[in-house]
């Protein structure tokens, strides 16, 4: 297809949704011969209206995750030749996964307006289809050239070097760690908990008991190197509407780095991970403790499961493969 002129509209550059589902895709669109412009929604409504008037000069307008007020959506639809909406979170519910009439109405209006809805998993596609959305499932991609395993040179055989159990994320999900703190407090051996985030305000560290912990502020420049220090990666989640919409980015980061991922069996995690082979899906606190203790005690097990996880990330979720799917979808939409 001859080169298209594409506009990607998002909220903030630092958001994971933008970084993983737009920013890392742009070079692949450009290599396919398409012109890509990126804009972020202005806070001021008059600035947004001026932006919307520019949309008719683009072949496709790609909106990442933003729910738009009815009047603005009508103008945006009027001035867009083709409109694609990308969703990788359960934005039709509130932050606790409860029904939210305001969000549902806006979500439904977007489903009716979009020519194509790109969904990060089947749960989101089913939600979109309820409102008439024309859906396509494209998983979140992981750049397996950037996220590469780093050999841990020091052996834990003598117990001098701690086994690092880690978690990476943001303040919106740090509270989920509290559910595994009592489990971690019962793990035997030389263990350290490492948390990479922008805040730890909601964490109940007293529940860790004698387990030492370390906090590292998240940054895009250091996230790969800091996460690569993990020996075991955690992804605890409750099972609700909000977490069903998660697209497994945290698990894929661990797996691409060759780190065994221990995740709650919620949503897309069950599609990504085969329990005991390329990661673990413990169902109860007792299972969490058993899995973590086995991994702490057995470096060979960590290596084998981490290697299998890496293979899964490369074979099914690599950036090159997923980006090719998205480029083709946008070309067809145009």
Give yes or no: residues 304 and 184 share one domain. yes
Tell me whether strands 135-137 and 212-217 are parallel, antiparallel or unpaired: unpaired
Structural domains in the chain (count): 2
Where does the pLDDT of residue 153 fall: very low under 50, low under 70, confident under 90, or very high at 90 and above?
Answer: low
Structural domain contains residue 100: yes
Q: What DSSP designation does 191 have?
A: E
Kindly tell me if the per-residue pLDDT of 316 is higher than 60.
yes
Give yes or no: residues 328 and 283 share one domain. no
Give yes or no: residues 304 and 327 share one domain. no
| Arithmetic mean of pLDDT, 144-155 | 81
- Distant-in-sequence, close-in-space partners of 123: CB < 8 Å, separation ≥ 6: 90, 244, 245, 267, 268
Structural domain contains residue 146: no
Kindly tell me if the per-residue pLDDT of 90 is higher than 70.
yes
| The predicted structure's pLDDT at residue 277 | 96
Structural domain contains residue 287: yes
Structural domain contains residue 176: yes
Kindly tell me if the per-residue pLDDT of 78 is higher than 90.
yes
Structural domain contains residue 152: no
Q: Which helix (H) or strand (E) holds 156?
A: none
Give yes or no: residues 131 and 173 share one domain. no
| 8 A C-beta contact, residue 143 and residue 319 | yes
Supply the CATH number for residue 109's domain.
3.40.50.2000
Q: In the numeric block, which tokens belong to residue 20?
A: 């993983």
Angle subtended by helix axes 299-316 and 249-256, to nearest 10: 110
Tell me the per-residue pLDDT of 157-190, one tens digit each, with 9 for 90 and over: 455 799 999 999 988 899 999 999 999 999 999 9
| 8 A C-beta contact, residue 223 and residue 198 | no
Give yes or no: residues 105 and 187 share one domain. no
Where does the pLDDT of residue 61 fall: very low under 50, low under 70, confident under 90, or very high at 90 and above?
Answer: very high
Kindly tell me if the per-residue pLDDT of 301 is higher than 60.
yes
Structural domain contains residue 149: no
Give yes or no: residues 109 and 168 share one domain. no
* % pLDDT > 90, the chain: 89
Give yes or no: residues 99 and 180 share one domain. no
How far apart are alpha carbons 21 and 215 in whole angstroms? 27
Give yes or no: residues 107 and 13 share one domain. yes
Phi/psi zone of residue 66: left (φ > 0), alpha (ψ -120 to 50 degrees), beta?
beta
| Arithmetic mean of pLDDT, 19-36 | 97
Q: In the numeric block, which tokens belong to residue 121?
A: 């998993």
Kindly tell me if the per-residue pLDDT of 156 is higher than 50.
no
Where does the pLDDT of residue 95 fall: very low under 50, low under 70, confident under 90, or very high at 90 and above?
Answer: confident
50: number of Cβ within 10 Å: 11
| The predicted structure's pLDDT at residue 1 | 65
Give yes or no: residues 226 and 195 share one domain. yes
| The predicted structure's pLDDT at residue 160 | 76
How far apart are alpha carbons 318 and 252 in whole angstroms? 10
Residue span of the structural domain in which 286 resides: 163-316
Give yes or no: residues 239 and 122 share one domain. no
Give yes or no: residues 257 and 305 share one domain. yes
| Arithmetic mean of pLDDT, 1-18 | 91
Looking at the chain, list the stretches that DSSP marks H as alpha helix, in order from N- to C-terminal side.
16-21, 26-31, 45-52, 70-79, 101-113, 122-130, 181-185, 223-227, 241-244, 249-256, 269-272, 285-297, 299-316, 319-333
Give yes or no: residues 291 and 236 share one domain. yes
Q: Where does residue 200 rank: exposed (0-12), middle (13-18), buried (19+ CB within 10 A)? A: middle
Structural domain contains residue 102: yes
Structural domain contains residue 233: yes
């Amino acid at each position: 297809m001859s080169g298209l002129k594409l506009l990607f509209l998002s909220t903030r550059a630092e958001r994971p949704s933008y970084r993983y589902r737009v920013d890392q895709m742009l070079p692949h669109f450009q290599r396919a011969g398409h012109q890509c412009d990126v804009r972020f929604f202005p806070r001021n409504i008059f600035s947004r209206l001026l932006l919307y008037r520019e949309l008719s000069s683009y072949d496709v307008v790609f909106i990442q995750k933003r729910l738009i007020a009815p009047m603005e959506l009508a103008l945006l639809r009027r001035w867009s030749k083709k409109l694609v909406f990308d969703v990788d979170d359960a934005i039709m519910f509130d932050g606790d996964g409860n029904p939210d009439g305001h969000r549902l109405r806006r979500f439904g209006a977007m489903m009716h307006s979009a020519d194509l809805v790109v969904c990060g998993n089947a749960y989101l596609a089913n939600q979109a289809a309820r409102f008439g959305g024309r859906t396509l499932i494209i998983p979140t991609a992981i750049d397996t050239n950037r996220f590469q395993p780093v050999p841990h040179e020091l052996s834990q055989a003598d117990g001098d070097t701690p086994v690092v159990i880690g978690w990476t994320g943001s303040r919106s999900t740090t509270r989920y760690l509290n559910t595994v703190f009592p489990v971690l407090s019962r793990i035997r051996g030389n263990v350290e908990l490492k948390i990479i985030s922008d805040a730890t305000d909601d964490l109940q560290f007293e529940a860790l008991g004698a387990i030492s912990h370390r906090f590292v502020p998240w940054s895009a420049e250091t996230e790969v190197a800091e996460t690569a220090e993990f020996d075991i990666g955690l992804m605890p989640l409750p099972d609700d509407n909000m977490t069903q919409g998660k697209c497994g980015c945290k698990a894929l980061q661990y797996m691409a780095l060759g780190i065994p991922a221990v995740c709650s069996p919620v949503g897309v995690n069950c599609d990504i991970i085969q329990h005991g082979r390329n990661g673990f899906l413990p169902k109860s606190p007792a299972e969490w403790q058993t899995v973590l203790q086995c991994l702490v005690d057995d470096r060979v097990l960590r290596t084998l499961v981490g290697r299998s996880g890496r293979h899964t990330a490369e074979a099914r979720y690599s950036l090159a493969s997923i980006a090719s799917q998205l480029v083709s979808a946008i070309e067809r939409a145009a």
